Amino acid sequence: MPAREHAGEQIEVDDPLTRAPDPESPNGTSAPRRIDLAGFVSPPVVRIVLACLALAALSAALLPTVPSYDPWAWIVWGREVVDPHLSFATGGGPSWKPLPVLFTTVYGLFGGAAPTLWVITARAGGLLALVAAWRLGTRFAGWIAGLVAVLGVALTQDWFYYLFRGTSEPMLVGACLWAIDRHLSGKRGQAFVLGVAAALIRPEAWPFIVVYAIWLWFREPQLRALIVVGSASIPALWFIPPWIGSGQPFLAASHAKSYNGHLGSHPSLEALRRAADLQVLPVLIAAAVGVAFAWFKDRDKVVLGLAGGALAWIVLVIAMVIDGYPGLERFFLPAAAVICVLAGIGVARVAMLAGGGAATTAIAVVLIAISIPLAWSRIDTARAQKAVADRAVRTLDELSAAVRTVGGHAGVLPCRSSFSAVNHGVQTALAWKLHVTLGRVGTSLRHPGVLFIGPHNTIDGGPAPVRVTPRVEQQLASVGGWRVYRVTRPGASNRCVGR
């Protein structure tokens, strides 16, 4: 039975959740569980984190590296926290997310390197998610399960887009999978911290961390100080900064509800369809097989618990859809990642029916091979993401050149009341380049200002509509796919309109 340390003694406790093989033990078998707060993070985990950070940094040097819409906002907010010349204003952009801004606040001290530093961090989170999927798969059913779990996560819808563009979703998946791994390894304090991290990215994680905190409170009394601090940090970081920056503590919720997510006339059914579409069909089938083995053959409470947790996450997202939230595909990602682990277990258990050795490996190879045609479109989409990221880098480089051509911040915004507008998907990036808050850059031009018109595509969106009437438009610059106009009212002074 696992052991718990208390006041220098080890007390045996019966805990079925720690009976699974521990990948950190020398022979991969069950190891006694010891809570060692002095060595809070084990050396193997530190090496894994450092390796993923190194690979992410290398990717920033070799692959196109540019944030997408939401990450640019977090980077802008991080700069506002540390720049004494800027006010902290959380309005005018996407929903507030605490954990990314904790990172970008530190990166704001590094000036122009902040966007790259954030993308490196997000990519490292994605790589750590793949490692966690491998660890969980191998823990339950060996290397076959680990390999399938990794492949499943990598083929999750838009996974490579998220990695290329520095979104928080890969980091969220990494936090959730590692929290499970740490719990099963007996590292309950680490599991709780990772759960808090997930809760600082997605509110759907709140009920899970509340339940876990209550369970820990009674099972691990030496962690109560950590539980109090971690639990208090969630509402504090979600509600206090938006309150300071906008006067609205529930800004994130109101922003989320203002976007319907194009759910159509049957929002719940559409959200459920999106949840299913995240994974290729072979993954869903293999996951069902894995759960069936756990239920009918093994009565494996841990595997069934993972399945129940994934289902609970999906139900929670759909419940939020009913309450008016958008139910985007990415909201289901933690559940989708757990389904990939279950799929790995399913493939491995079927392969093990061959008796082990070369026969088991052969069956696994066949199962993976016959799944490739059903996953080919997702593979093609993943391969296309580099070209999409290349185009995004080129587009924003041209935007930077356009900003310089019209005189930068001073040329575009000569007064405190000056305003500019741009394609919706580039609003936050332009705010960064102009060194202003998001409220100074709009996605429509309602009064005289400088208008940036860029390429119209599904990511950057269409040109900002101009609602100034009557008006005079004067082209200031044309750089690559960008055109810049000065929009004024005839006969007015227009002295605060940029060049």
> Cis peptide before 470, with omega less than 30 degrees from 0?
yes
**Residues 318-348 pLDDT 10s:** 999 988 888 889 999 999 999 999 999 999 9
Which amino acid does the sequence have at 319? A
Q: Does pLDDT of 4 surpass 70?
A: no
The sign of the torsion formed by the CA atoms of 15, 136, 172, 265 equals negative
Domain regions of the chain by residue span: 3-352, 407-488
What is the arithmetic mean of pLDDT over 306-325? 93
365 sits in which H/E element: helix 357-405
pLDDT band, residue 499 (cuts 50/70/90): confident
* Residue 449 bridge partners (DSSP): 487
- In whole angstroms, what is the distance from residue 235 CA to residue 221 CA? 23
The pLDDT score that the predictor gives to residue 47 is: 92
Six-digit token pair at 307? 């399945």
Written as one string, the DSSP assignment of 133-189 is: HHHHHHHHHHHHHHHHHHHHHHTSTTHHHHHHHT-SHHHHHHHHHHHHHHHHTT-HH
What is the arithmetic mean of pLDDT over 378-399? 94
Six-digit token pair at 274? 């999106």
Neighbours of 154 (CB within 10 A): 18
**Residues 85-141 pLDDT 10s:** 899 999 888 889 999 999 999 999 999 999 999 999 999 999 999 999 999 999 999
The sign of the torsion formed by the CA atoms of 89, 94, 95, 101 equals negative
**Residues 146-156 pLDDT 10s:** 999 999 999 99
Written as one string, the DSSP assignment of 312-326 is: HHHHHHHHHHHTT--
The pLDDT score that the predictor gives to residue 259 is: 67
| 454, 375 Cβ separation under 8 angstroms | no
Which amino acid does the sequence have at 125? G
The pLDDT score that the predictor gives to residue 394 is: 95
Six-digit token pair at 272? 């459920």
The pLDDT score that the predictor gives to residue 22 is: 47
Residue % of the chain over a pLDDT of 70? 91
Residue % of the chain over a pLDDT of 90? 77
- In whole angstroms, what is the distance from residue 216 CA to residue 213 CA? 5
The pLDDT score that the predictor gives to residue 261 is: 60
CA angle, residues 120, 52, 339, in degrees to nearest 5: 100
- In whole angstroms, what is the distance from residue 457 CA to residue 204 CA? 31
**Residues 158-176 pLDDT 10s:** 999 999 999 999 999 999 9
DSSP alpha helix (H) spans, 323-356: 333-352
The three-class DSSP label of residue 40 is coil
Beta strands in 7-141, from DSSP E residues, in sequence order: 9-12
- Calculate the CA 61 to chain-centre distance: 21
What is the arithmetic mean of pLDDT over 464-484? 94
| 188, 223 Cβ separation under 8 angstroms | yes
Backbone angles phi, psi at 111, to 5 degrees: 60, -130
72 class by beta-carbon count within 10 Å (0-12 exposed, 13-18 middle, 19+ buried) = buried
pLDDT band, residue 41 (cuts 50/70/90): low
- In whole angstroms, what is the distance from residue 214 CA to residue 224 CA? 10
The pLDDT score that the predictor gives to residue 350 is: 96
**Residues 429-447 pLDDT 10s:** 999 999 999 999 999 999 9
In terms of Cα–Cα distance, which of 220, 240, 212 is closest to 13?
220
What is the arithmetic mean of pLDDT over 459-484? 93
pTM exceeds 0.85, yes or no? yes
